[in-house]
Amino acid sequence: MSLCSSSNLFAEEFNQWPAKKTYDNPAITKAMDAVREGIPKAENDPTRPVYHFCPPARWMNDPCGAIYHKGYYHVFYQLNPTGDFWGVDNTHWGHTRSKDLVYWEHLPIALWPSRELGERRCNSGCVAINDNGQPMIFYTYVPLKEGVSRQQWVASGDDDLITWKKHPDNPIIGREKSVIPSSVGPGWSDPFIFRTEDKTFVIFKSICLEFNLEVKFKTNIAEEPFVRLRTRS
């Protein structure tokens, strides 16, 4: 397992933050550099875990988007790249992968808050492969403005799940384009996609009630994303 401090128990090459580089997305470059800057302080923290997986520095929470793809176990996680506290205004998606669930390889940050689109942070979600083989992240957009409902967004990835682009037609599910029960509060979040009996569903958490939407799991996610609603109080 990738250690959180320097140790000789496991192969050191699996515990390296990706080398400094300029990514196509400036937000990813900035976040990757911010994590790197925090490594010296983290390595000198005597209370830092040394066995279980964590990034080399900064705050993490909510592992999400676990998926086995092309010989790797991928895990994404909530990450604040600029501090050792919950990123209420700055949560990104970190990313790691492993071939054996023991040695973990740090990968470039996957998701970032789109400030130009009013996004405060990227909440949890899931990763799924659609019928055309396209990797997709489903996650919750949290707005900068208070009192505005959250939305469910999607990003598409390359075949190695390394580089992600947010879909231009986001949100795929939101109050302005979907029939969401009025009893569901603005804090609905964390979509999870699953399939059963030849149907695809997405389930969320909500302050008021649990509910799921039957969705059309297609590449053209701008299409109406569900055909009927089921609720459970």
Counting other chains too, the contacts that 189-197 makes at CB distance below 8 Å and 24 or more residues apart are 189/123, 189/124, 189/140, 189/142, 189/150, 190/64, 190/123, 190/124, 190/125, 190/140, 191/125, 191/126, 191/138, 191/139, 191/140, 191/152, 192/125, 192/126, 192/138, 193/126, 193/128, 193/138, 193/217
CA angle 190, 192, 196 (to 5 degrees): 160
DSSP β-bridge partners for residue 143: 119
Which residues carry out catalysis? 62
Distances in Å between the alpha carbon of 26 and those of 14, 109, 113, 207? 25, 12, 12, 35
DSSP assigned state of 13: G
| Number of residues assigned to the chain | 233
Which structure tokens are listed for 94?
Answer: 């970190």
Cα separation of 172 and 89, whole Å? 22
Q: Are 180 and 141 in contact (CB under 8 A)?
A: no
